[in-house]
Amino acid sequence: MEEKSITELLSEDTKNILGLQLPTDPRWVNLASISLEAILSDHAYCEQKAALTCISLIQKNPEKTELVQQLAPIVSEEWGHFRLVVNELHKRNLVLGKQRKDAYVNRLLEFQCKGGNPEDRLLDQLLTMALIEARSCERFKRLSEGLTDSYLRKFYRRFMESEAGHYTLFIRLATIYMPEKRVRSRWKEWLAFEAGVMEEMELRGDRIH
């Protein structure tokens, strides 16, 4: 049987909740709806961190023209998302809470290649971002389907669509700078690791991840 291309794989993954091996516990949406101020605050900081991570990738890889050109608009988009979420808090007379440690992201960072080949480090950085965007997309999908507030359902539907595009972008960038077979193999390892992290994580309604 002929191996599928990365483009076909991406399309297939998107249809199957982005290839994630462990879906979010359905109870999470109910918990999130009880903690709107907390979940919106955490969401805002997730968007801010995404923008800063893209800036960092550009700063560390200025010679990679395609990466710079593709990520520069994402910086603006993610910062715009931060503003949208902050505005939503304001509209609801809610307050942006303090930024908290992101246990999920910190666990993913532990799995990143830290030394050796710079290409290995870049690959893991791009796949980490792809995985965070994929999980965010899956969570936003849950919110867009499960919240009782019709406006917030539409609000999170738009975010879901945006995150799905970002997920595919980071994997596509990885295939530009690394062999496709290598990207596919490492992505499977990341998906397996992330499933283990999700199993261990406490179910909390005040966090996006």
64 phi and psi angles, rounded to 5 deg: -90, 90
Q: Which domain holds residue 74?
A: 35-200
* 209: in domain: no
Instruction: Quote the pLDDT of residue 18.
Output: 64
* 50: in domain: yes
* 67: in domain: yes
* 171: in domain: yes
Closest CA to 174 of 134, 124, 137: 124
* 71: in domain: yes
* 22: in domain: no
In this prediction, the residues of the chain whose per-residue pLDDT falls under 50 are 1-3, 5-15, 17
pTM score, two decimals?
0.90
The count of structural domains within the chain is: 1
Residue 108 CB: number of other CB atoms within 10 A? 22
